Amino acid sequence: MGFDQLPLKSLFTGAEDALLSMLADAPAEAVEKAHEYKILRDVLDGTSAAVAILDERLRFRYVNDAMARMSGVPPGAFHGRTMAEVLPGIHRSEDVLRMVLGDGRPRALSVTGTTHVSSPFRQRQWSAVYHRLDHGDRVLGLCGIAVEVSGLRQYMDDLERAHQRLALLDTAATRVGTTLRVEQTCAELAEFVVPSLADRASVRIVDTQEADDLPPPAPGVLRLRIMASAGGPDIVARIGLTATSGYYFDVPRDSPVRSCLDTGRPWVGNLASDDVLLKMLRTPLDLEVVRELGVHSIVVVPLPTREHPVGVLYLLRAGDSAPFTDEDVVVAQELAARAAVAIDNARQYTLEHSMALELQRALLSEPGGPHPDVETASRYLPAGQRALVGGDWFDSMALPCGRTLQVMGDVMGHGFTAAVAMSQYRSLLRTIAASGAPVEQILQEADHRLASIGLDRVATCLLALVDPGQGTCTFAGAGHPPPVLLHPDAPAELVHVPTGPPLGTDLGGYEAVTLPVRPGTVLLMYTDGLIEDRRRDIDASLRRLTHLRLDLDGPLESVVDALLARLVHGTTEDDVTLLATRLRGP
């Protein structure tokens, strides 16, 4: 007969003291048993583990004080009732308990849920073990012992979330900032946070340049440009920001977005009211669209740099998605901080690249003019997107006695400073060449003067003095790749020019070499971007030039185009500059 077949009464009712009094004159063995009963009761009531005894119908017959404290329910309220009746917020598998009743094998299970007692933990959890109670061949019920592991569970959950956060940040390092293009970097950030952190996202950058087709912002208003958005319907397009405004968003001083930019702290609007969201949006129409899309929570995170934020990242959650947690905001801040570095680098690169490219193109677009009996064609091909503009330059100068000086140079390094240094080299060479000095002396004087100026960038240079009257070409080089003569009726010829040190070293020691040049022969001068290739030895690249077979009878521009089609495929690792020269026939 089990507990459920006995009259419903509580076990261990606390009558041990009365029992000992009744047994005062009883045999010693009975008194000893009563003392053992009291010790057992003291153990059950003194332990911090929750102990309960259930009958075969899983009704409580006994709970100790720890169980009562843990649940916030008096012990008497448990008697004769099931867990679901006493604590409906607790979840445990009763199928497991019935298995213990059936086969007698103890089992451990996890119990989760809430009780009537407040808890500092996000979710309460207990580890419980249930044993079957037998008396001879009879099954009496179950004894359950449980200890709370909420703290350990929360610690493990926090640790797992920390690992997930680190994994997310590690992945972001490989997926955000893969190029030096601002638009691409912003798009990578927006696409990365959806759906891992938000349902929709947009990246908005502080605009520092005035657009010709837009009125300037009002005083005190900051203009943001929407660079990228991701996730579901395009909210930006829906609220009309892509129309005449050209993806611009004006932020007044009292806007929460402006506060984010000024303070560097995120703004969180969980389950935000219409009044709150209206402060973030431009018009009631924008609010209507956002609500139509089911957006209920918004987080705005600044994109910080050393000086000031470059913009903000908008994160939106909609529909059944939970509001943002504090941890979500921390992750968003870390992602924004990393992405901001990439965005700022891309902006700086774009600015410097544009300035250097404009300067270089301006200088290259104004070469001197050769004599009429010498025709020239040139090309300048900037390197791929990852490389900065270099210091390549060329020039063509008509000198006395019908001679023409052709110049090809390359300043060490890349970027705006290299382009500026290139202009100094070019101007100085023009000044010295006007004196009519031999080419080796031009290099000697330029080397000395440039060293005295103190430029921190040396340059390679090749001079070719073309003399149609004598039918000759005199070369002198300062560490520059050798020129090539493309003959109409013979194999191409690599000219072995005596190698001198780069300009700006003040080492001097330049020599000249003179070769005959017939009308129709094409002189090719170039920078090292044409021949440098990580996959090919430099000597092999030079040999490719001597194996060229081109039709030299057509326009010189066509010859240069055909040459580039043979030698350049896709983007190059360095800038490529070409200068082709041909003597006109009689």
In this predicted model, what pLDDT tens digit does every residue of 121-166 receive, in sequence order? 878 899 999 999 998 888 999 999 999 888 887 777 777 776 777 7
Mean of per-residue pLDDT scores for the chain: 83
**Model confidence over 73-83: pLDDT tens digits?**
998 899 999 99
* Dihedral sign, Cα of residue 468, residue 474, residue 478, residue 484: positive
Which residues are registered as beta bridge partners of 251?
A: 222
Homologous superfamily in CATH for domain 158-353: GAF domain (3.30.450.40)
Instruction: Give the per-residue pLDDT at 44.
Output: 76
* Closest to 270 in 3D by CA, of 329, 195, 311, 228: 329
Q: Residues 59-91, buried b or exposed e (16+ Cβ, 10 A)?
A: bbbbbbebbbebbebebebbbbeebeebbeebe
pLDDT score, position 586 = 60
Q: Which residue has the higher pLDDT, 509 or 9?
A: 509
Q: Give the DSSP H/E element, type plus range, for residue 101.
A: helix 94-103
* Band (412; pLDDT cuts 50, 70, 90): confident
Backbone region of residue 15 per phi and psi (left: phi > 0; alpha: psi in -120 to 50; beta: other values)? alpha
User: Which helix H or strand E contains 578, and what residues bound it?
Assistant: strand 576-583
φ and ψ at 84, to 5 degrees? -60, -30
* CA atoms within 13 Å, Cβ hemisphere of 119: 20
Tokens found for residue 142: 């179950």
Alpha helices in 230-384 (DSSP H): 235-238, 256-263, 274-280, 284-292, 326-364
* Contacts of residue 15, Cβ cutoff 8 Å, sequence gap at least 6: none
Considering only 11-20, 87-96, 150-159, 162-171, which range has the smallest mean pLDDT?
11-20
Token pair of 447, please? 């080397």
CATH 3.30.450.20 correct for 3-148: yes
Distances (CA, A) of 126 to 111, 150, 484: 5, 7, 84
CATH number of 366-583: 3.60.40.10
Residues of the chain with CATH 3.60.40.10: 366-583
Identify the three-state secondary structure at position 264. coil
Q: Which two tokens stand for residue 580?
A: 């082709």
Query: Count of H helices and E strands in the chain?
Result: 17, 22
Pair 367, 422: CB distance under 8 Å: no
Q: Do 242 and 236 contact (CB within 8 A), yes or no?
A: yes
Whole-prediction pTM:
0.53
Residues 503-525: tens digit of each pLDDT: 999 998 999 999 999 999 999 99
Q: Greater confidence, 222 or 23? A: 222
| Predicted pLDDT of residue 14 | 56
CA distance 467 to 438: 12
More confident residue, 29 or 261: 261
Q: What is the mean pLDDT of residues 319-330?
A: 91
Task: Give the sheet arrangement for strand 493-494, strand by strand.
Answer: 374-381, 576-583, 522-526, 484-486, 493-494
For residue 167, give both structure tokens.
């994994």
d(CA 158, CA 5): 47
All CATH 3.30.450.40 domain ranges in the chain, comma separated = 158-353
Share of the chain above pLDDT 70, in %: 83
103-113 average pLDDT score? 93
Position 454, amino acid: G
Residue 413 or 499, more confident: 499
For position 5, what pLDDT does the model report? 57
330-386 pLDDT, tens digit per residue, is: 999 999 998 998 888 888 877 776 766 666 666 665 556 788 889 999 988 877 554
